[in-house]
Structure 1
Amino acid sequence: MIGRRPRRVLVLGGARSGKSRFAEQRLHRVRGVEYVACGAVPDGSDAEWTDRVGLHRARRPASWRTVETVDLAAVLGRPGPPVLVDCLTTWLARTMDDCGIWTGAPDADARLAAAVDALVDAWAGTRRRVTAVSNEVGGGIVPATASGRRFRDEMGALNARMAARADRVWLLTAGIPQRLR
């Protein structure tokens, strides 16, 4: 990495740790960033979510283009400007829903594994400059529900796989960035 800009950067942290703001600041001088929002589009039914998304939107430069999708493999597979993915946690939550994990669909586990594999492969092979934000969920309390534990375990495994293929990894704790790689 000496003398080269890292192509794949993973930014990890807990809730409200400053990870999104840190990732945005890394790209603030780039005019043509493709900002990929993986969370649900606010529909007004959840005021807190609407406010949270509004704060993220207000921080973005007007020159950045927002893409709301969970098809990250397609985004990473095509040429284009630098990408900021915010965030892998909402991507995983939506993907688990879409695969039928919570409804017990017969092929849910296989569909989830395929989606995660496709994302990790696209991350490893992308030619684009990408910064991905994700929640570090393994350092907290053990979730009280089986679904909470399943999500935590899947998130930890995804983070580990993405970090293994990242050029640089950052961890934010209490707003303080620490470079892990």
Structure 2
Amino acid sequence: MIRAEGGPARDALELQLLGTAGPAGWPEVGCRCSSCTRMRAARRRLEPTRVLLDGVPLDRCRREEVDGGYDVRTPRGHRVLFASRPGGRPRPSSPGPYDAVLLDLVGDPAHLGWLRHVGAVTPATRIEAVQVDHRVSSPAELERRLERWRRPFTAPWRTLVLGGARSGKSEEAERRVLTCPEVTYVATGVMHAEDPDWRARIREHRVRRPRWWETAETIDVAGLLRTASGTLLIDGMGTWLTAMFDALGAWEYPRAVEPRVDELVRAWRSTEAHVVAVSDEVGLSIVPETPVGRAFRDLLGRLNQRLAAESEETALVVAGRVLELP
């Protein structure tokens, strides 16, 4: 039963999804992309989005057009927010929670995070993906993402995302927290003003982040883990370790960093926050030529092992594909 605030109990919303794809369906006729050909090979097809709300087609419900979709009232008084096209980001026409939101989660999962942020989506809100199409690689990949996006916010919960250079590890870590209502992005790297490539990388990360996220640029990651209670996205452990070597002048004596690593692991183990951290998988690269390079690699590898042992989830990203590690 759903109870309107301050009012009597009412029946739950009846929601029937007769189709969830974009206007051209999935696969699209004549499209040769890997997503569409994979769907054809599996003899699967999703029809264009069509829904019944409390037994009535959406276009026969009372609705107000908003940018990117509709704010709908069903015949039984339920409130539904609907994305009417791919790329649509419907905004609530008035404050208050919805009974259901039907969103283009393939195109912009962060929109769900914003709706949670402003209180339009609560744990009682039903969340469905519509306008689905070949912007996602497969139905299985969509379900993998939806399982996390629909998951109620819980803490403590720790996730370590590993990957090599340009593997897509940062994008995967961001994807896992895009639908959270409050996120603090923890940037552990020191800004090198004289390095244009580094500045470009920092700009790329900033553009991807939703505007309502907070940002903390610090190497005191242990301190944040001890005090935070919301969601932390830490990017990443490799740059943190580099900054710690610099701060302690430890390049000639790497063992000086070990107490700080121990402190970080203790804080990770005892945190009350929901944390997703990115780290470099260094074990697959060539052996560094210098002793200090080998010491750095070994220390980061051991840190990864210790964090993974204290994490509820660990994933490895290779070429943008995600492998969940048991």
Q: TM-score scaled to structure 2, two decimals?
A: 0.51
Worse-superposed segment, 77-86 or 128-137: 77-86
Q: Which has the higher contact order (CA 8 A, sep 6+)?
A: 1
Structure 2 segments unaligned to the other structure (5+ residues): 1-150
Worse-superposed segment, 142-151 or 83-92: 142-151
- 1:15-71 per-position Cα deviation (integer Å, ceiling 9, x unaligned): 00000000001111123201000001242x000000001100100000111100010
What are the residue-to-residue correspondences of 1:18-167 with 2, within 5 Å? 18-43=168-193, 45-104=194-253, 109=255, 111-167=256-312
- Match for 1:16: what amino acid? R
Q: Is the 8 Å Cα contact of residues 191 and 198 (structure 2) preserved in structure 1?
A: no
Structure 1 segments unaligned to the other structure (5+ residues): none
**Which of 128, 146, 162 is the matching residue for 1:12?**
162
Q: Is the 8 Å Cα contact of residues 116 and 158 (structure 1) preserved in structure 2?
A: yes
- 1:61-119 per-position Cα deviation (integer Å, ceiling 9, x unaligned): 00111100010111000033200000000000111122222144xxx62x411100110
Aligned equivalents of 1:71 and 1:98: distance in 2? 11
SS of match in other structure, 2:302 = helix
SS of match in other structure, 1:141 = coil
Aligned equivalents of 2:314 and 2:190: distance in 1? 26
Q: Is the 8 Å Cα contact of residues 14 and 137 (structure 1) preserved in structure 2?
A: yes
Q: Percent identity?
A: 44
Greater helix percent: which structure?
A: 1
Aligned equivalents of 1:79 and 1:96: distance in 2? 25
Q: Residue 29 of structure 2 aligns with which residue?
A: none
Q: Is the 8 Å Cα contact of residues 42 and 53 (structure 1) preserved in structure 2?
A: no
What is the RMSD computed on CA atoms of the aligned residues? Answer: 1.6
Aligned equivalents of 1:165 and 1:144: distance in 2? 31
Worse-superposed segment, 91-100 or 115-124: 91-100
Larger radius of gyration: 2
Q: Residue 314 of structure 2 aligns with which residue?
A: 169
SS of match in other structure, 1:67 = strand
Runs of 4+ in 1 over 2 A off after TM superposition: 3-6
Q: Is the 8 Å Cα contact of residues 171 and 179 (structure 1) preserved in structure 2?
A: yes
Greater strand percent: which structure?
A: 2
- The number of residue pairs the alignment matches comes to 174
Worse-superposed segment, 6-15 or 51-60: 6-15
Q: Is the 8 Å Cα contact of residues 157 and 312 (structure 2) preserved in structure 1?
A: yes
Aligned equivalents of 1:118 and 1:147: distance in 2? 22
Aligned equivalents of 1:71 and 1:79: distance in 2? 12
